[in-house]
Structure 1
Amino acid sequence: MRLNILNRLLVVPTRKACNIRGLAERPRVRFAPSPTGYLHLGGLRTALYNYLFAKSQNGVFILRIEDTDQTRKVEGSVDALINDLEWAGIEYHEGPGKNTECGPYIQSERLPIYQEHIAELLKNGSAYKCFCTERRLNVLRRDAVKSQRIPKYDNKCRSLSEQEIKDKINAGIPYCIRFKLTSECQTFEDMIFGGIAYDVSMNEGDPVLMKSDGFPTYHFANVVDDHLMAITHVLRGVEWQISTTKHLLIYKAFGWTPPRFGHLPLIVNADGTKLSKRQSDVKVEDYKTKGIYSLALVNYITLSGGGFDHVPGAGVRIKSMEDLAQEFQIDRISSRPSRLNPDLLEECNRLEIKRQLQDEQLSKQLSSKLEKLIVEKYPEQNKNVTEEHIKSVLNWATARVTRIEDLTSSEFGFLWILPSNAPTNFDRDLLIKLIESLGEMERFDQEYLKDRLREFSSSNNVKFPVLMKTLRSVLSGLKEGPGVAEMMSLLGKAQSLDRIKAVIR
């Protein structure tokens, strides 16, 4: 006779819970993702706002991994998720690898805890064993759809007698455990959306709390863990708002005081369409590999989602995590969907590059990164990659590019390597005179060069546009791009002269 897995697990030793009363003296929030793949932008926003809330209130930020659906678990995703959070500057106080008395923080390691609490609900009559097969449930769904009714469980097993339950268990019939929904409208004050009221029993049958394999459902584990971890505030996506009324009924069945709830609005595209996880631009990993800096992405999210005093017309400013935490106000979060503006992200990244250049240590790291990119992009060519030249280009580039990687593109390749398509139809004598003239210059800044080149063209009876076209080709091999005087100033006097001399030899 096959013994139901859940029946075996229901007999468990009592575990000591953490000291809730002592912990709840400080605000405690959590980010509780499922390890089903990559961390996407919506998940990062949820983690960030929980982190900033905790930081602003001198509270505790917890990372909890909700992996009760083992069929969707992706190997390595927990490590990847933690790495993404660390990259973004989001540090958790409690969680995997930082266990305290409220651990473990991975739900699949907390099964005995859920068994204790499901036994409590069975004992007080708030839950019951359901033996309905998947086949019967499918028939109910099909009939409901055919009759244009809301598909929901008909609560059949709620009325089973004690003897019927014993007979089914003895027969080895698998069962799950369902929660008895009450027909009452639950209300709560959403910290972002205001008053919410909903009668979940109008649209759902009794929900499953514990599956036949001994694993809890999201709704049950979520409530138990939030209570035992002394969570005081729950900030999560608006898609969970209606489920909150179901969770409140479970809190009531245990006699527990629920935390306060706030639901973050949807993140949508600029045109209002919903972001898709299949899009290549919603993964945090994609932003990292495309040259977006963590603080730029963090500021981009806050600029799109509210929660801060952004003064209209004041422009964009990159704020540190400390600044963001000090300014964070949960009542400033808009309930309207957060529209993403890709141009704003590029501006944030440009400003972050500029900010890093003003820090000596970060500036050196940027220079090293750019030097590595140049060597990788142009491995065979002779390169001009001195530290002074790289720093000069980086300072110049803050007004022109939004990503360091752009500086190794074909448009800016002239900054590092000699042009491969130098012109052949040029006035050799004119260039020799130009070399002499440039060599005598004590200054080599853009404005000074522009004036001297114009004087040179006039005194040598050559049209200025023709001279500029020739010089652009000699210096860069490009037909268009930055101004010639700007190019020469960036390349420096020695490099500019060397390039002109190279074509007349």
Structure 2
Amino acid sequence: MHFTARILASEVRVRFAPSPTGKLHLGGLRTALFNFLFARKHGGAFILRVEDTDVARTIPGCAEKFEEILDGFGLHRDESPLIGGEYGPYVQTQRKGLYGEAAQRLIDSGHAYRCFCTSERLEILRKNAFRKQEIPRYDNRCRSLQKEESNARERDGQPYVVRFKFNREIVKFNDVVFGENIQTADEGDFVIIKSDGLPTYHFANVVDDRFMKISHVIRGAEWIPSCPKHLKLYDAFEWEYPTFLHLPLITKDGHKKLSKRDNSAFVEYYTQEKGFLPLAILNYLLRNGSGLRDHKTNYCYSLEEMIEKFDENTIGTRDFMTDKNSLEKYGRLAFKKATPDFLLNAIVDHVRAKLPHVGEDLLTSEYIERVISFLTNNEETFSCLSEISSGDFHFFFGRPENGEKLLTKYDVVTVTRVLDNVISLPHLTPAGIKGVAAAMDISAPDCFLIVRCALIDSFTGPPVGELFTFFTREECITRMNCVRQSLNVYQTQAVVING
């Protein structure tokens, strides 16, 4: 069930609000993407806010890394910690005073109170609940404290937290994607300000969204159960609700949520380890339920095209499932769509990161352009840059070191004779190899396999004729000679054994 809210461009302000406690999750990137597209489509502002109230788990430099990743995907912010803006600071620990004032407002209005219960008492409550097989919750002991006593204990320096009065009731709200949602809220009085004076996630989330004038909250569906807390806080402040738009969960198999213990849960796996182009990953994240009008599954949309066709009312409710085949499909489409300059820079950056031993002579624009031309014209299946650093196309930036792989399939005498004859050919052509095979009375396919493995250290790969065309004759001879020379020791051993 969908509903269409009236959207005024001047009112649209959305935010992506990650916690700087680790690598950026794939779901986080998808949330950023949908916030970005929504803002650009409706002429509004896209904001990055860093929610770092879990100080113990905060990783220095993590927030800056998030901004770098978003830039790499073209998801440029209008306001952020690095960019600044009218509604900053955009890091929650720098807004501590605001939360304290907001909490005091709720205390004064009777919607919240100071709780002086010790951690030891709270632990006893938890253990008693578990023993009775009940859901642990606070027993509201400090709710009945008189204002005078609460103020006096605060002046005396007694440690406390601030709790929000949360009575059991039915809460209803509409979501752009999931339609009407009805929940029974029954969690007891929850903490909004911790003993260190910092807010809890739920409290800071609501306060910041209000003060940053967030019009639409776009986030993952895992936050739907938290909405009653947020809505009751809005009610207590007498604030208007933002419009909610929750995105389906990202799952590994259609059922199980993508675990943070899995490398494929994080953006860096796709960008750094696998080397998929940014546009491939963005299209991959849009494929389920899309959010694009008349979405074509075999097309790679540019960011500009995504913005033009974006329609929040087309987002589906079916959970997103990671799928290797779909990812590789978008990898191929993105590679074909990318400009030569973009590919050149992407390949150079990837090779330098993954193969630091590669010389600058193999990173020149002229050589990289030849690599791109080869892949574009000859390889329909090329999908990610890891294929040139550790996959089937690693031969672009590395020569075979020895002929050991050849000896797993052929005897050393046959291999050395084939290589000697091919190296002596005046011209390296497939026809020449067939001639060598006929003269030696061996099969032409075996002869081609030996030459291919000597050139790229693999029995599978591009046709030998394409390799001859890509490499210069001198490079092909150098590669075959290197393998041929490495076989001398095995040839000597064979002579000794036969003798």
Please give the secondary structure, in 2, of the residue aligned with 1:424. helix
- Asked if 1:198 corresponds to 2:178, the answer is no
- Asked if 1:401 corresponds to 2:393, the answer is no
Q: Is the Cα–Cα contact under 8 Å of residues 49 and 81 in structure 2 kept in the other structure? A: yes
- 1:487–1:177 distance in 2 versus 1, CA, 3 Å: same
The aligned counterpart of 2:302 is 320
My pick for the range that moved more, 464-473 or 327-336, is 464-473
How far is the alpha carbon of 1:370 from its aligned partner?
7.5
- Asked if 1:425 corresponds to 2:406, the answer is no
Between the two proteins, what is the percent identity of the paired residues?
A: 37
- Asked if 1:131 corresponds to 2:116, the answer is yes
- 1:318–1:128 distance in 2 versus 1, CA, 3 Å: same
Map 1:238-249; keep pairs closer than 5 Å. 238-249=221-232
The aligned counterpart of 1:489 is 469
**Which of 287, 290, 294 does residue 303 from structure 1 map onto?**
287
Q: Is the Cα–Cα contact under 8 Å of residues 304 and 340 in structure 1 kept in the other structure? A: no
How far is the alpha carbon of 1:471 from its aligned partner?
4.6
- d(CA) in 2 for partners of 1:254 and 1:263? 23
Q: Is the Cα–Cα contact under 8 Å of residues 296 and 348 in structure 1 kept in the other structure? A: yes
Q: Is the Cα–Cα contact under 8 Å of residues 275 and 282 in structure 1 kept in the other structure? A: yes
- d(CA) in 2 for partners of 1:280 and 1:355? 27
- d(CA) in 1 for partners of 2:261 and 2:215? 34
- d(CA) in 1 for partners of 2:34 and 2:171? 26
> Amino acid of the residue matched to residue 192 of structure 1?
V
Q: Is the Cα–Cα contact under 8 Å of residues 419 and 480 in structure 2 kept in the other structure? A: no
Q: Is the Cα–Cα contact under 8 Å of residues 371 and 390 in structure 1 kept in the other structure? A: no
The aligned counterpart of 1:79 is 64
**Which of 199, 208, 226 does residue 216 from structure 1 map onto?**
199
Q: Is the Cα–Cα contact under 8 Å of residues 307 and 332 in structure 1 kept in the other structure? A: yes
The aligned counterpart of 2:130 is 145
* Large movers: runs of 4+ above 6 Å: 380-385, 427-431, 452-462, 497-505
**Which of 166, 170, 176 does residue 185 from structure 1 map onto?**
170
Q: Deviations over 1:245-278 (max 9, x none)?
A: 1111111111111101121121101353221112
My pick for the range that moved more, 209-218 or 260-269, is 209-218
Please give the secondary structure, in 2, of the residue aligned with 1:425. helix
> Amino acid of the residue matched to residue 288 of structure 1?
T
- Asked if 1:51 corresponds to 2:31, the answer is no
Q: Deviations over 1:172-213 (max 9, x none)?
A: 32222111224432210011111111231x2x1111121222
The aligned counterpart of 1:228 is 211
**Which of 322, 326, 333 does residue 344 from structure 1 map onto?**
326
The aligned counterpart of 1:5 is none
Map 1:34-183; keep pairs closer than 5 Å. 34-183=19-168
How far is the alpha carbon of 1:428 from its aligned partner?
6.6
The aligned counterpart of 2:190 is 207
- 1:159–1:324 distance in 2 versus 1, CA, 3 Å: same
> Amino acid of the residue matched to residue 109 of structure 1?
Q
How far is the alpha carbon of 1:466 from its aligned partner?
5.4
- d(CA) in 2 for partners of 1:459 and 1:116? 91
Unaligned runs of 5+ in 2: 1-7, 407-414, 486-499
Q: Is the Cα–Cα contact under 8 Å of residues 26 and 58 in structure 1 kept in the other structure? A: no
Please give the secondary structure, in 2, of the residue aligned with 1:178. strand
- d(CA) in 2 for partners of 1:83 and 1:380? 26
Please give the secondary structure, in 2, of the residue aligned with 1:199. strand
Q: Deviations over 1:367-392 (max 9, x none)?
A: 64587589845669999984664344
Q: Is the Cα–Cα contact under 8 Å of residues 231 and 259 in structure 1 kept in the other structure? A: yes
- 1:193–1:418 distance in 2 versus 1, CA, 3 Å: closer
Q: State the superposition RMSD in angstroms.
A: 3.6
Please give the secondary structure, in 2, of the residue aligned with 1:84. helix
Q: Is the Cα–Cα contact under 8 Å of residues 423 and 477 in structure 2 kept in the other structure? A: no
How far is the alpha carbon of 1:152 from its aligned partner?
1.1
TM-score if structure 2 supplies the norm length?
0.81
How far is the alpha carbon of 1:99 from its aligned partner?
2.5
**Which of 259, 266, 274 does residue 283 from structure 1 map onto?**
266
Unaligned runs of 5+ in 1: 1-22
Q: Deviations over 1:121-144 (max 9, x none)?
A: 122111112111111111111112
Please give the secondary structure, in 1, of the residue aligned with 2:264. coil
- Asked if 1:272 corresponds to 2:255, the answer is yes
Number of residue pairs matched?
A: 465
Q: Deviations over 1:446-495 (max 9, x none)?
A: xxx57x87699789987544554565466556544333333333336676
- Asked if 1:334 corresponds to 2:319, the answer is no
Q: Deviations over 1:355-374 (max 9, x none)?
A: 22xx2422443564587589
> Amino acid of the residue matched to residue 303 of structure 2?
M
How far is the alpha carbon of 1:55 from its aligned partner?
1.0
TM-score if structure 1 supplies the norm length?
0.80
- 1:65–1:465 distance in 2 versus 1, CA, 3 Å: closer
- 1:252–1:411 distance in 2 versus 1, CA, 3 Å: closer
Please give the secondary structure, in 1, of the residue aligned with 2:417. coil
- d(CA) in 2 for partners of 1:473 and 1:463? 16
Q: Is the Cα–Cα contact under 8 Å of residues 173 and 180 in structure 2 kept in the other structure? A: yes
The aligned counterpart of 1:258 is 241
Please give the secondary structure, in 2, of the residue aligned with 1:91. coil
- d(CA) in 2 for partners of 1:325 and 1:380? 39
